[in-house]
Chains A and B, each alone.
Chain A
Amino acid sequence: MTIAHEEVAAPVQIGVAPRILERLGSLPLHVGIIVLTIAWIVPTLGLLVSSFRPLGAFTTSGWWTALSPPFNFTLDNYQHILNTSNLSRSFFNSFMISIPATVIPTTVAAFAAYAFSWMRFWGRDWIFLALVGLLAVPLQVTFIPVLSLFIKWGLSGTFLAVWLAHTGYGLPFAIYLLANFFRALPTDLFESAEIDGAGTLTVFFRIVLPLSVPAIASLVIFQFLWVWNDLLVALVYLGGTPEVAPLTVTLVNLVGSLGQGLQYLTAAAFISMIVPLIVFFSLQRYFVRGILAGSVKG
């Protein structure tokens, strides 16, 4: 066989007038994106600027006044929280909680979603339906029964307790998200793999997982951010003990009940923000669409 000629799409000529119309058509979209960006950036900037301002300034004037001379910035707030509160300890705790509480539910959900979407077993659709129903259960109703169970097993106040709790709370959504994604993979791929001799697990590891990187990446981001920022679940199952307290709990303790120490909060909050930002920016490239392009059809 010889190489067939390449099909090359002819470049499409667009006239000047339609091009302007096209630009105008996307104008509202651009305006909307810019507005959203500003709405996100302004408070973040305010937080950053405030965290460098001296003690009294925080309550007497707005943060934007600091942007005009005379400049008066200080590192006091950062020094204070790094020296006095056990920030590094809670930083470590936050990782100790967030990483397993992301990895465990994502792993379990990937296997479960594969079974729900591509394996046939008795009662599959009903179980899946029940799972989707769990999405609607508010997690607060589970506090008392789960906590008393944890106390009985001696788990209360341990990392394992929060891992289990976050896994439980995260699974319904995680399975739902991944199952929908897996289901949309082309049937032909699975049939082809079956003929090629790949077993169920091989198909999962060599075909389903590599093709689902975008879905898994977004799930990891969701779950990690939720666990990292969570205060409620941590407070309930861990209590306020500083040895196990994550950043969120420590942050709350920085502020007195009358609002004293607010300026320390700005610095601490900014530090705690850094991690989610790193996670997001390092995974965002997996959001590229069209990873399936070229698998089927010409």
Chain B
Amino acid sequence: MASVTYDHVVKRYTPETTAVRDFNVEIADKEFMVLVGPSGCGKSTALRMLAGLESITEGQIRIGERVVNNIAAKDRDIAMVFQSYALYPHMSVYDNMAFPLQMKRMPRADIEQRVRQASGILGLDNFLKRKPRALSGGQRQRVALGRAIVRNPQVFLLDEPLSNLDAKLRAQTRIELQKLHRELETTFIYVTHDQVEAMTMGDRIAIMYDGVLQQVGTPDDIYDHPANLFVAGFIGSPTMNFVPVTVQNGTATASGFDVALPKPLDSRKGTLGFRPEALTDRAPNGSGLDMKVDVVERLGSDQFLYGQVGGDTVTARVDPRMKVVPGDRVRLGLDTRSLHFFESETERALL
């Protein structure tokens, strides 16, 4: 059990290609931290530097108080679950899980006890003698987890462990991973490109884009107060509405409506952002706007309307019982308490 600190970490492959720039994160002991971002954003590289699979160009990575820059992967007291599971195909499930312990020259009885314990937690008791190829995707994934658990590491590293599972199994495993995290009381660092996984599993989320850390915070914090345009667009589904506006005298004017901002800003151009749930038929104190509906999406518990307001495309979330068909014009309220404003040059959030 230990904290993990990235201190001004840089990964440069050649002078021109930098995968990770000045990365600073402190991950607390027993925390479930999710690194999320689109593919190629450097999140896997950041994880692999911690694992010891990639060298660190600049900066320091510490596990607990120990600087691990020059410590071999096997001595860092970490365990990693790979996207491909990386099970040893010629070994049985038992041997796969026993392998890291055999490498530590642990006595046979202790190995047996630890493997039994892990297989009990993961429900693999009946599969210990099978080879990986005789297992389903979900079972293989659990063997990979088991191989990490038996080592009883200070930090668990998970590199997109769910992306090879089908949707239903993925949702189920997501919950099981959270339970596992609670049972093991160990630091988890989880890399994914899926914002739903990030939002549902992480104690905190670190969002990366183009090698740069964009924002770190709790899921709620990031959802309600995105630091910039990228984060606002990346987190949340359906995505936040972005409408170009001009601000003057505390009022933002878009092509189809204008709205009073809750906080006075200097006159400038920028992007107004609001989530679909802020544009609704249920906003009592919202300022109204007219929407021409193009597409209606009913999900049972929710109803999303996709359409036009003036010249801008927006999404609204309305009561599922509201009867709307494409082509309708509806009057919706905009909840001004959850407006975001991003200035046009830096794309930073000012609101």
Q: Which positions in A face B, CB cutoff 8 Å?
A: 1-7, 186, 188-189, 191-198, 202, 206-207, 210-211, 290-298
Q: Which residue of A lies closest to B85 (CB)?
A: A296
**Are the CB atoms of A292 and B89 closer together than 8 Å?**
yes
Task: Give which listed residue, A211, A293, A294, A298, contacts B165 with CB less than 8 A.
Answer: A298
Please encode chain B, from 71 to 96, with 1 for each CB lying within 8 Å of some chain A CB and 0 for all others. 00110001110111111111000000
**Are the CB atoms of A291 and B137 closer together than 8 Å?**
no
The 3 closest A-B pairs by CB, nearest first: A294-B133, A298-B137, A295-B89
Task: Give which listed residue, B86, B137, B179, contacts A295 with CB less than 8 A.
Answer: B86
Q: How far is the CA of A134 from the CA of B237 in the complex (A)?
A: 60
Stretch at the interface among B97-105, B191-199, B218-226, B317-325: B97-105
**Are the CB atoms of A291 and B90 closer together than 8 Å?**
yes
A295 cross-chain contacts in B, Cβ below 8 A: 84-89, 132-133
**Are the CB atoms of A196 and B172 closer together than 8 Å?**
no
B84 cross-chain contacts in A, Cβ below 8 A: 186, 188, 295-297
Stretch at the interface among B4-12, B138-146, B265-273: B138-146
Q: Which residue of B lies closest to A3 (CB)?
A: B123
Q: How far is the CA of A198 from the CA of B75 in the complex (A)?
A: 11
Q: How far is the CA of A291 from the CA of B137 in the complex (A)?
A: 17
A5 cross-chain contacts in B, Cβ below 8 A: 169
**Are the CB atoms of B82 and A192 closer together than 8 Å?**
yes
Report how many A-B pairs have Cβ atoms within 8 Å. Answer: 115
Question: From residue B250, how far is it (CB to closest CB) to chain A in Å?
Answer: 54
Q: Which residue of A lies closest to B84 (CB)?
A: A296
**Are the CB atoms of A194 and B74 closer together than 8 Å?**
yes
Q: Which residue of A lies closest to B151 (CB)?
A: A196
**Are the CB atoms of A297 and B53 closer together than 8 Å?**
no
A290 cross-chain contacts in B, Cβ below 8 A: 133
Interface size counted on chain B using CB atoms at 8 A: 47
Task: Give which listed residue, B74, B164, B176, contacts A298 with CB less than 8 A.
Answer: B164
**Are the CB atoms of A188 and B82 closer together than 8 Å?**
yes
Q: A188-B84, A191-B82 are in contact. Are A196 and B74 (CB under 8 A)?
A: yes
A297 cross-chain contacts in B, Cβ below 8 A: 84-85, 164
A206 cross-chain contacts in B, Cβ below 8 A: 99
Most buried by B among A2, A3, A210, A294: A294
B329 interface residue (CB < 8 Å to A):
no
Task: Give which listed residue, B147, B166, B180, contacts A1 with CB less than 8 A.
Answer: B180
Q: How far is the CA of A202 from the CA of B122 in the complex (A)?
A: 28
**Are the CB atoms of A210 and B90 closer together than 8 Å?**
yes
B236 interface residue (CB < 8 Å to A):
no
Q: How far is the CA of A46 from the CA of B82 in the complex (A)?
A: 58
B109 interface residue (CB < 8 Å to A):
no
B136 interface residue (CB < 8 Å to A):
yes
A298 cross-chain contacts in B, Cβ below 8 A: 85, 136-138, 140-141, 164-165
B217 interface residue (CB < 8 Å to A):
no
Most buried by B among A3, A193, A194, A197: A197
**Are the CB atoms of B137 and A7 closer together than 8 Å?**
yes
Task: Give which listed residue, A1, A192, A198, A291, contacts B123 with CB less than 8 A.
Answer: A1
Q: A191-B53, A196-B74, A293-B133 are in contact. Are A211 and B79 (CB under 8 A)?
A: no
B350 interface residue (CB < 8 Å to A):
no
B173 interface residue (CB < 8 Å to A):
yes
B79 cross-chain contacts in A, Cβ below 8 A: 195
Question: From residue B188, how far is it (CB to closest CB) to chain A in Å?
Answer: 15
B299 cross-chain contacts in A, Cβ below 8 A: none
